[in-house]
Amino acid sequence: MKDYKSSGVDVEKAEGLVRELKKKFPAIGSYSGVYPLGSTKLAATCDGVGTKIRLAIDYDRHEVVGEDLVAMSINDLFAGGAKPLFFLDYFSCGRLDETVFRRILKGIEDGLEKAGCMLLGGETAEMPDMYKDGEYDLAGFACGTVIRDLDKQEVKKGDVIIGLDSNGIHSNGFSLVRKVLGRGDIEKHIDLIMKPTRIYSEVTRGGEALLKKVKSMAHVTGGGVKRALSRLLPEGLGGRVDRLNEPDIFGIIRSKGVSEQELRSVFNMGCGMMLAAAPDDADDILSVTGGSVVGEVV
């Protein structure tokens, strides 16, 4: 089987645990949790980079995962209609390699500059016997202010789905990538595979005036296009998405026998952020954010 589950990742099990958590802690959001603070609402997110770190270590691409770390949390803020304020990072390893750490930090700095966000602090944990030499893990945390509460219940049949192009795989599905692409293929295509996750700061560039035209937004990460549509649209509606600008790397993965259904259930397939809007508002949104209309609500 050439699928995500057989590569060691059970998305359905994880989704089930999250659903249980949301019953116990209803403030947990789809992308960011929201905390009222007077007349302001704060949004907060937490994310990591996944097994892309394995390739960063094996192929000496540490700056990339530093930028990925920022992108994964910041893009979740954007998907919740929030503008980032600050970011914190967590770096853990068995033995601190100062050169590697500085390279990761350089990637974090690059990501923060693109996001328009500041680094407020973090934690560096050196834990002997917890990691093999040269190995590490990362986590990122971001906080922002809500510009507009987005509500997918506003989405209607006939609305358009706007897609903002991805840089490629971004930071999801790497357990499957590593399973289906052998070492030779990975080395051959490493530049395509290890492109950093795009940071979608343009979605808040137009402020509240632009976001009033956006009904719903989805960051296309874990669960791929399929899961993103379920977060973008209310129950009873579906999305016909058939105009994606697919980067070459997905064709390479497809050629290894991964089904179309599995591809869309794991990867972004060229669309890193989805927005739902009325057809009459599409041009105004596209003039600020770029991208294209990739489908419609059915």
Average pLDDT over residues 282-295: 96
Q: Furthest-apart CA pair in the chain: how many Å?
A: 59
| DSSP 8-state secondary structure symbol assigned to residue 26 | T
Position 28 scores a pLDDT of: 82
In this structure, the strands spanning 292-297 and 136-146 are unpaired
The DSSP bridge partners found for residue 217 are 275
Average pLDDT over residues 113-136: 96
> What's the whole-model pTM score?
0.94
Same domain, 35 and 142: yes
Q: Domain of 39?
A: 26-146
What confidence tens digit (pLDDT) does each residue in 195-231 have? 999 999 999 988 999 999 999 999 999 999 999 999 9
Same domain, 251 and 129: no
Q: Residue 17: is its pLDDT beyond 80? A: no
Pick 27 or 208 by higher pLDDT: 208
- Which position has the token pair 């397939």? 269
Same domain, 79 and 158: no
One-letter amino acid identity for 15? E
For the chain, what is the domain count? 2
Percentage of residues of the chain with pLDDT beyond 90: 88
Same domain, 163 and 254: yes
Average pLDDT over residues 145-157: 96
What lies within 8 Å, CB to CB, of 253 at 6+ separation is 176, 177, 180, 181, 263, 267
Same domain, 53 and 132: yes
Position 254 scores a pLDDT of: 97
Average pLDDT over residues 154-173: 97
Domain containing residue 64: CATH number? 3.30.1330.10
Same domain, 270 and 221: yes
The DSSP bridge partners found for residue 204 are none
What confidence tens digit (pLDDT) does each residue in 255-278 have? 999 999 999 999 999 999 999 999
